[in-house]
Structure 1
Amino acid sequence: MSFPEADSPSASTPGLAHGWTHGPSSLDASILEKTSVRSGHRSGYHVHVLVVGDNSRQLAGPLTRDLTQSFPNLCFDRIESAKDLALFFEGLDEEDHVLLGVATSEVKDVDALIDAARASSLMASTQWMLVTDQELHTDLAACTESGHLAAVVRFPWTVPLLSGQAYSTMRRYLEECGYCTYEILDLIQEPPSFAVQGPILEGLDLNEDQVVHELLEGVERVLGPRPRIRLPRGTHLLTQGHRVEAVHLVLEGTVSLHRDSRHGEVLAHLATSGPLIGLISLARGENAFFTALTTSEATVVRLTTEQLQIALTEDPSISTVLTALAIRSLTRRLMRAEDLHVENAMLAEDLERQKEELAATLEDLRATRAELVERARFAMLGELSAGIAHELNNPVTALLRAAGHLREDAEAVMASRAPEACRSALDCAMDSPPLSTARERELQKELLPILHDRSVIRQLIRAGLTDTAHARALANDPAQLEAFQAGARLGGSLRSVLASGERIISLTQSLKGYARPDADDLKEVDVRRGIDDVLRLTSHRVHGIEVVCEYEDVPPILAHPAKLQQVWTNLIVNAAEAIEDEEADLKAQGQESAASEKMLPARGHAEARITITVANSGDGVEVCVCDNGPGISPQVLERIMEPHFTTKAGRVRFGLGMGMSIVHSIIADLGGQLTIDSHPGSTIMRILLPLHHVHEEES
């Protein structure tokens, strides 16, 4: 908006004195002094400048006089202090504008003055100048922070500087309010001819191409036409750490600035490099700070140190353009550096947040993995349940069968007339070592001519009868024979009961050790005993496969027993299934093939075998589970440790693909290593479990 032009000058507010004085004034005389020269403005629309100071140090009076003479079309008002602001605002209308506030160091607290003035809507956005004769101010923090302090002028001032600063401040205020140039000129008129105005350096208000053109024109006025150099992409203009012999003025194309660091080469500037390359290093006599590289075909002008010195000496005006161009380039690079600093700070915050998120995710993954390990253990336990039931069925059946005969055998023994023969037969039946089938057939042939009854002979052999003389004595004495038979039957029943009970106890103990959740604390574990427990539980899974165990005397390791049993169970069952699956595949292929020759497995004619070795290995225990199955293909071997990767899809045994992943994680948690060496006919799972956990615990 603009202010309407005045028809005629108007009088100042009634009751207020006109003009200005050099000394302090009283409230009755002239608390509020006005210089109301308002020609050019319509009555009721006034543009004001407020000066605050009591002139006690001869600042406010001369200041008001100099500004009034510099801007005769403005209305200057002077008050002594902030307490007179209310009287000043009473003399204004809503249409009046206060473009500038000028405070002197005669005011005790400038911050308080400006804050009080801003409380009125008429001066809420007014900019302030401070004219001071003090070397230090401590009352400018608030106005500096709020942006309402436009300038500080030191006494004694010069009128051109004072007027120029006042004009620039008022003009910026009006521009920020949205006034255009002709509206501003209508309000405050042209600046005084003697006022200091304009930019600090010529050329900063021009675009970069114009500055480059002016610089080149100035240089060529002195040196004559400069050859243009056309450079392909990838040409080095500067090399970091090397001497700078000349500057390059880039007329066309782009140049990037790189700097080597301990992490490699870093791009510092591309679009922010500017058209002047090498000036700062050349002027300071230093080696190049950057490596300058053309990133496109470029046209440049090369200027050596001597050529620049000649041009600047012959035509000093070139230095202004050169300075403006250097300031532009450095400002651009500085802004780029600040942007990078802000980006780095933001990236650091993002990385810290991502670090916290990753830590939480890792904790969730650990909890999930622990849950998967537990589920896998109980899933394997469920899978083994059928075999465990079968294994328990045999000793339970034998136990019941023996128990059914115990009463009958006991009554026969008690009714016998030869208790010594009964006791001897009972002891022999319980303690005699088992005989091979060949030895039993040999003894049957020797005793058959003496006792004539094969069933009696088998019974007596199992009771430990191997002497033909003893057999003849029993054959000649029916009472002794009957007593011996009764004792043998009783001893055999008791032996069967004890053996069945021990088998049941061993199976239940192994099952309990497998299913029991581990405590948080690690325990000393005998690897060999754990493997034996697993072999008892998985005996039905390795049926028809020879299992060979080769154990050395090894120290215990510190681990979770149940988790280690998961490792041995997965490895042994996987080995058995690989052999069984190969045989099933060969059988299916043999049925479909028309060839007459018999197809052989990868092991050839050798029997199916799983070999488990436990040995010392320096500072650890090495366990190897080896099978002579078909081996693992390289494609599968690369992914065998991945979660949910399985090669059992499509079979009756469908795997979830977590077995080897869990094996790997359990071994890794113990600080161990798992390596796999596989080819047709041999797959070796080698596990190295360290002992340092035990040593640390003992220390």
Structure 2
Amino acid sequence: MNSFVILCLDDDHEVVERLSRDLAPFAKLFDIVGADSIKEANETLHFIEQNGQRAAMVICDNELGTDQGVDFLIRLDQSPATEQARTILLNNRPQLDTIMQAVNEGRLNYCLTKPWNKDELYRVLVKELTTYILKHPEEDWLKYSQVLDHRRILKAHIDRQMSSFRSGFIQNTNSLDDESLATQVADALHEFFDGNDESRACRTYSAGHLLTTEGEPNSFLWLITLGEVALYKKDNDGCKHEVVRVGPGHLVGGMSFVTGEPSFSTGITLSKTDVIKLDRQLFTKVMNSRNELLPLFTNLLLRNFNRRLQGSIKTELRLQQTLKSLDEAYHQLVEKEKMAILGQLVAGVAHELNNPVSAILRGSETLKDTVSKLTESQLSHDNKTRGNHILQQAMQSRPLSTSETRQRAKQLEGLLGDRQLARKAVQMGIDDHDHLTSWLLPQKNQLKQVMTEWDNYYQMGNFLRSINVCAHRIADLVKSLKSYARQDDETLHTVDVHEGLEDTLVIFENRLKRHHVTKEYADLPAITCQPIALQQVWTNLIANALDAIEESGEPGEIHITTRFTPESNQQKIDIVFEDNGKGIPEDEQQKIFALNYTTKREGDFGLGIGLSVCQQLINQHHGQIRVESEPGQFTRMIVTLPVK
């Protein structure tokens, strides 16, 4: 029995059998089960849940006798065993109203028209099952790589390993003081060489032993475990001066060992000194054999560099160059942060674009057939006029839900004597009393033929409406993404803040749709600013709010408020972002704007510069950003900007 199941639901037993045959390549890793009714499917899902399995994919026919396929897919989120399942809807012909219903409910990943192409089905299954598996980090991803998309799985596996290392790098050492960290490294190295020190890495030197020579190449790294070493530096006249003395836990030769540059100073033992001496080959051997030692050793090395820099006599001489280098590095980090967020946004927008594009393509293909049917219509002049009315009405109205259509059709069935005719009349919006008495009942004998012709007008209007909606959706997404992605403009513009906020919300829509977003916009004056810089601020603040509320796994709330606060000497506006996430402890609230400080949970590659960037950008606009938070209750980020 496998952990995951692929459920095939169709009231045609032959279709279920064909699906089972076409899905054979996945059978080693996924249990393939079939059902020919909603009842049997629900029983199967109940059995799956009792066995501790989960449904990875549900392939469902839309018809099922009474068009319940979409309703079944929408209800999948009600069960833990199916709430993350990927879904494919099968149709005998494209039915855009049911497809759009599933799209609007966020419960349709792909749509196939019968009879399907086996190769297309295989490609869709590989893509969707890969997406599903990668949402389950507890699984051994690599075992799925032979059947699913091995490139995506391998990349995700590597990213996860890097995430684990990064988490260990931060968490394993930040609580250790220098002495404890050095002791751990020394103990681990002694344990490694115990009884197997062929290279004599563990050595004892007497006083006056030369370790490094200033200006000469160095291929070794010394970890002092006992004793003392002095480091000397020559001045411009060639006179040697003692720079610093180091003892147990310190590294000698670290900089030249790492960079390959000549030694910065001369190191000489002052007393009997025990060291662990490593060359590059031995260092690589140790680190490959003891993976847990790498983050510890790296942190020890970085701490030694930090201490050496603090005491270096060249700090003052190189200060200006260092500040310049830091400034360049900072701007690179800012750009990396923006590109990292942009990458996440592009993925979400691409997902959002897929459904409207697919709907437009399928709708345009169907329109070809529908147009030819309308041109060949045998309807009377009056009925053609009525058909045009149905077309226009379909272009303006929204599709009814399946349950509402069924309920209204049931009321109309007794008058028309035919369930299908009643259902079509409800869908076309001609089931009210006036249309019933003037359109339907007077031509009841030929109503079936007339309704068939009218259905072509209805489908035409419905397809045109859906294409128009999808096209506007695509235009909004592209506009917002282009606004964020274009190069920063350092010139000042007079803009409406709300436009930038709305553009930012659009590109986050893929993540926001499962949460409740409320907006309270005041009547604001236009402000003079750098719009792209501010949009980067809004992006970071909304992304942080989403991260905070998504940690709980439950739908959250984000509240965006704008206020106009005129003062005697300067007019200002406030933009407030509030979420009901985990909140920020009081002792951390003053740290969140520090460079490299991050509260991202394990597995997230936060650079720790998002809020630091926000603060800098707001300061450049002569504004301020502050935080108000209550742990477990809310976090409120308040940006105040001058109008000019």
TM range (shorter): 0.3 to 0.5
Structure 2 length-normalised TM? 0.46
Structure 1 length-normalised TM? 0.42
* Structure with higher RCO (Cα < 8 A, 6+ apart): 2
